[in-house]
Structure 1
Amino acid sequence: MKAYFVNKVLATTVVGSYPVVKGSGISSFFDPFKAAVETAVADQVNAGIDIISDGQVRNDMIPLFTARLPGIKGQDVVGKVQPASGAITAGDAKYARSKSPYVKGVLTGPSSIAHGLHIGTPMYRNKEELVPDLAAALAVEAKHLEAAGVTLLQIDEPIFSTGVADLAVGKQAIEAIAGAVKIPTCMHVCGGLGNVIDDILKINVHVLDFEFSKNPANLALFGSRDLAGRMIGYGCVDSTSEAVETVAEIKKRIEKGVEIFGAKAMLVDPDCGLRMRSRESAFWKLKNMAEAAREVRLAL
């Protein structure tokens, strides 16, 4: 097993986000999302997840970061983008770390952020020119997450599967962030990979995280492709549906992955974040996934 992860074959993790369950009382007055972070962390631990996240409950994936970056106001880029004055998500990651020995820190990727913004300054002629400055700002946050003790740093780039982003620029940005830290890095790309798989595999990270439940065709892409010693984040639970798959259903999906990648190369997780699901659905998806992984692990 890779030395930088849990010493367990088919370790389970999450893509990142979890339903927002707000609390009440005086503590919620001072921090409206404190209870949501605590609930997300507790549910992941209780579901049996090996590498948890902080739940990403404070905002959607783009404004979670852009609200703190100088040069951005709302959805508009108004000047040169610079790093935040302090840590953005590391405080919640540190809390998660206090409840679990293994925590995944999560950043929204610079290309996905760039394509979610409107350029309203002559500082940047296009989205591609914006991406490197976003990467530099996010690299600072990556260092804060590393200092908070996260086991793995994930960079989310959902835009990569759409064909809209310049993948050469995106590759440089991802590798700039990954190069800023010593901890292992992961890149999550959701959606179908058929048109971009070869470019995606050129990006230098330790783990490549994809969805295989909602997009089973992604599996066929890896028959003859070499991962070059990297791991696969193996999405085996549908994040788009409230329906909770049975342990047996998830187990079959994991077994298919084992046939192609081998158990030692896999981290088991949902297809994508669970923020849009109900708390009950999200919890049972994770719990059943953890049990399915355990059963496959025992049978190896």
Structure 2
Amino acid sequence: MSDRTQAGNREQFRPDGHEHDNFLLTTVVGSYPKPTWVNRARDQYESEESDFDAGDWQEAKDDASRLITDEHVRAGLDVVVDGEMRREEMVEFFAHRIDGYEFNGPVKVWGHNYFDKPSVVSEVEYADSWLVDEYEFTASVTDKPVKVPITGPYTLASWSFNEHYPDEEALAYDLADLVNEEIEKLVAAGARYIQIDEPALATTPDDHAIVGECLERIVSGIDTDVRIGLHVCYGDYSRIYPELLDFPVDELDLELANGDYDQLDVFKDPTFTKDLALGVVDAHTAEAEPVARIEENIEKGLEVVPPERLTVSPDCGLKLLPRPVAYAKMENMVEATRNVEAKLDAGDIDVAAPEPNAD
């Protein structure tokens, strides 16, 4: 089993000249509201009557990525993403890039919402890189560290029709090997912070052992200097904790603000041994939480882990919010984080989190 416990790769993201002795890493989960003109540009590109060609569409995506990356920088985040400006749905984007998948039209998932659910019709295979170009462009337009979110193999398998493999488990393991190959290419390109998104885990918690094996395959051969996070949302965490602690990742990214931290105590016994990326603003409410309230939320994380193991983040991707609200949430989140750091420096906060055993 891979051992990434306390790999010590977090400090590389502390900004030069950080004004506080304490450092709480700030980032986002991934998705962010697209500028309206991006969707209009897509419509033009997909229209048979338009002369908006592939080069124009590429320029539009580059401009959007540059704009949103800069928005994250202006908000003061320590680690940024481009808001996934080049992606649509989290499964569809990757399925289009993995040999073995095909699309046969949208399926209705709830209400009047449809999802272009893909089918696996043959053995999945890795062809061209999925995200290296995205990462390299984002890294070229900012001096900030860039995080790369990747939809995890378990979710890629669970949210697809399996028409080839004997079971979903076998499909997930093959997909995990492909994710490992992609991460190797990202690391070679300079990436040092990778986030695996597995929302399906919280809806089918009995399969945590499958996810664990997928993660073992994903991190195989990846240096411990590369930070690996796992984002899990929308579920009853008591059904997958403490099993989460056995996963070979550095950081567990959890949605807790939306539930008003009702599940916080789940992570206190047994002692939380990973780094914690704590959701401190709700991705589902279209108003920016006040700075003071976010400070209180951050301090809840200090009941679980000490400051040197706490990452501050929204609950989930912000793509469904109005863009001004998403920006205000980030800006307030960063201000609250710096305020909590100052309080920690002054000794005004009692950190309740226990230190994990050395073994």
Q: Which amino acid aligns with 1:240?
A: H
Gaps of 5+ in 1: none
| 8 A Cα contact 1:93 1:103, kept in partner | yes
Percent sequence identity over matched residues?
A: 30
Alignment of 1:173-188 (within 5 A): 173-182=214-223, 183-188=226-231
Q: CA deviation at 1:100?
A: 3.0
SS at match of 1:236: strand
- Within the alignment, does 1:60 sit opposite 2:60 as a pair? no
- Within the alignment, does 1:9 sit opposite 2:23 as a pair? yes
Alignment of 1:153-232 (within 5 A): 153-163=194-204, 166-182=207-223, 183-191=226-234, 192-215=236-259, 216-228=261-273, 230-232=274-276
Alpha-carbon spacing, 1:62–1:31, altered in 2? closer, same or farther (3 Å): farther
Q: Which amino acid aligns with 2:78?
A: D
Partner of 2:109: none
Q: CA deviation at 1:60?
A: 1.2
Q: CA deviation at 1:103?
A: 1.1
Q: CA deviation at 1:64?
A: 1.4
Gaps of 5+ in 2: 1-5, 15-21, 42-51, 104-117, 345-359
| 8 A Cα contact 2:9 2:227, kept in partner | no
For residues 214 and 103 of structure 1, what CA distance do their matches in structure 2 show?
Answer: 26
Partner of 2:33: 19
Q: CA deviation at 1:31?
A: 4.2
SS at match of 2:124: coil
Partner of 1:293: 337
Q: CA deviation at 1:223?
A: 1.8
Aligned residues: 296
- Structure 2 residue aligned with 1:78, among 98, 115, 121? 121
For residues 27 and 276 of structure 2, what CA distance do their matches in structure 1 show?
Answer: 12
Deviations 1:263-298 (A, max 9, x none): 111010001111111211111111110000000011
Q: CA deviation at 1:32?
A: 4.1
| 8 A Cα contact 1:10 1:263, kept in partner | yes
State the TM-score, normalizing by the size of structure 2.
0.78
| 8 A Cα contact 1:111 1:157, kept in partner | yes
| 8 A Cα contact 2:193 2:228, kept in partner | yes
SS at match of 2:179: helix
